[in-house]
Amino acid sequence: MEKGILGPEGTFSETAARLWLDEDGRNDNFAMRYYETIFDVSRGVLKKEVNYGIVPIENSLEGSVGDTLDVLSSSGTKAAPTGKDKTSIRLYVKERPGALYEVLGEFALRGLNPTKIESRPSKRALGDSMFYIDCEGHIEEAEIQEALKGVKKKATMLKILGTYPIAIRK
């Protein structure tokens, strides 16, 4: 089996991929294929050139990796529940006082922990923003599903980017 990662050989992406695969003892069964861009890794998975694509979602200096967010926006990544998961969403709310506060209230009402809130330009109008939110929990958990139903009622647009295991830092 082959895994696709952001190259070249020796990058932090390779180190992270090896750590992730070593956690479950899967590293022996995989060969690495290096790609020049995150989009290329995604295309490699879609074209079945590789069995897995491992790309950075965040980095310690810049935060979210924009290209990865764009790829996730179009793919809807969903991993099996592990008990220690994160769900990422993108949403748009009409700009008005308290709009984001109301959205975050849906998580608070259910005791859920948003671990990241980030705004990026929506490209609709100057000063208009899309919000990216990461929350602890898996999309299959009832509390997450209920929170997202509440968010959907308050947001003009809601996109579930994916749900995946939380990285373990060593």
- Three-state secondary structure string covering 45-103: HHCCCCCEEECCCEECCCEECHHHHHHHHHHCEECCCCCCEEEEEEEECCCCCCHHHHH
pTM attached to this predicted model: 0.70
Fold of 85-165: Alpha-Beta Plaits (3.30.70)
pLDDT at 77: 60
pLDDT at 30: 73
Find the mean pLDDT for residues 101-117.
95
pLDDT surpassing 80 at residue 49 = yes
Where in the chain are the domains? 2-56, 85-165
**pLDDT-based confidence at 75, cuts 50/70/90?**
low
Distance CA 119, CA 92 (A): 10
Percent of the chain whose pLDDT exceeds 90: 37
